[in-house]
Amino acid sequence: MKQFCPECGKEKGPFLKGFCLDCFKKKGDLVSAPKEIDFEHCKKCGKARIRGKWVELTEEGLEGLVKEKIKEKEMKIENRMVSLIREAEGVQAQGLKAEVTAKGSVDGMPLTEKLVVALKPKDVICVNCSRVYGNYYEATIQVRFGGVSLKKTEDAVLKRMASFLQRLHAKDPLAVIVSEKKQRNGFDVLIGSKRAAKLLAVHLAKDSEHDIKRSFSLEGVDKAGKTKKRFTFCVRL
């Protein structure tokens, strides 16, 4: 008896698992990939959570996310390729799709399968942003002037502080001024990151003849059992 495809009746091979090539492909059992992949996306800073880490939203990151969701079914996959379908310049979180091309073989016959996966961002607020927007801070810098402090001088120092932190911000998202408060002979600035605050205090004091005064207070114990400290750097200018 002649072999024929049970789906379309075609008698011309090649046949795969009893079906003609077209029908076998139409069954869509070559590889599996979800139609949609969710990922967390911070609506404040635009970062995405990829494999548990908050990172800049990049093409590579998203492609990697899709790649690991492509699973073998009937086809032995030799090569997975993922490319983002761009509707606009750059990588925006909304309306992202990725084209998946999987190359491999079924019973030794080379095949290529193409699929489209939608990437769905879930708007959340990342750890760092929730800290910054929740007034979280690790350190205070007390800026004090000898004698009467002038508004103009204070503003200039504040500006210098903000631009110094700006430079650290890419590597340290908590390098921000959380709030500032006027004091006699100067002002206090609350800083998200203690590391950034320390660098900033050293930077501010480099032209001053006074040493930086450091102190810390205990703010209890965190969930991991580590003591939380808040640092204060007093800089006299």
User: What is the 8-class DSSP label of residue 88?
Assistant: S
Q: Shortest distance, CB of residue 127 to Zn ion, whole angstroms?
A: 8
- Asked whether position 124 contacts Zn ion by CB under 5 A, the answer is no
Q: What is the DSSP string of 182-230?
A: EETTEEEEEES-HHHHHHHHHHHHTT-SSPPEEEEEEEEE-TTSPEEEE
Distance CA 167, CA 186 (A): 24
Closest approach of Zn ion to the CB of residue 198, in Å: 23
Q: Looking at the DSSP assignment, which residues form a beta bridge with residue 80?
A: 102
Pick from 33, 129, 161, 204 the residue near Zn ion by CB under 5 A: 129
Residue tagged 């290529």 (tokens): 112
Total interface residues for Zn ion by CB under 5 A = 11
42 is a contact residue toward Zn ion (CB under 5 A):
yes
158 is an interface residue for Zn ion by CB under 5 A: no
CB-nearer residue toward Zn ion: 43 or 210: 43
Task: Write each residue from 203 to 232 as x if it is in contact with Zn ion (CB under 5 A), else as -, in one continuous string.
Answer: ------------------------------
Integer Cα distance of 196 and 161 in angstroms? 10
The residue type of 91 is V
- Identify the residue among 16, 20, 33, 235 touching Zn ion (CB under 5 A): 20
Contact in structure between 116 and 99 (CB atoms under 8 Å): yes
- Amino acid, res. 101: T
Q: Which CB sits closer to Zn ion, 10 or 230?
A: 10
Cβ nearer to Zn ion, comparing 7 with 59: 7
HSE, side-chain direction, 13 A CA sphere, residue 61: 19
Return the residue of 27, 32, 45, 172 that touches Zn ion, per CB under 5 A.
45
Smallest distance, Zn ion to C-beta of residue 86, A:
24
Shortest separation between residue 26's beta carbon and Zn ion, angstroms:
8
Q: Does 65 bind Zn ion (CB under 5 A)?
A: no
Q: Please report whether residue 23 would count as binding Zn ion according to CB under 5 A.
A: yes
Residue of 178, 78, 179 whose CA lies nearest to 128: 178
* Positions that interact with Zn ion (CB under 5 A): 5, 7-8, 10, 20, 23, 42, 44-45, 126, 129
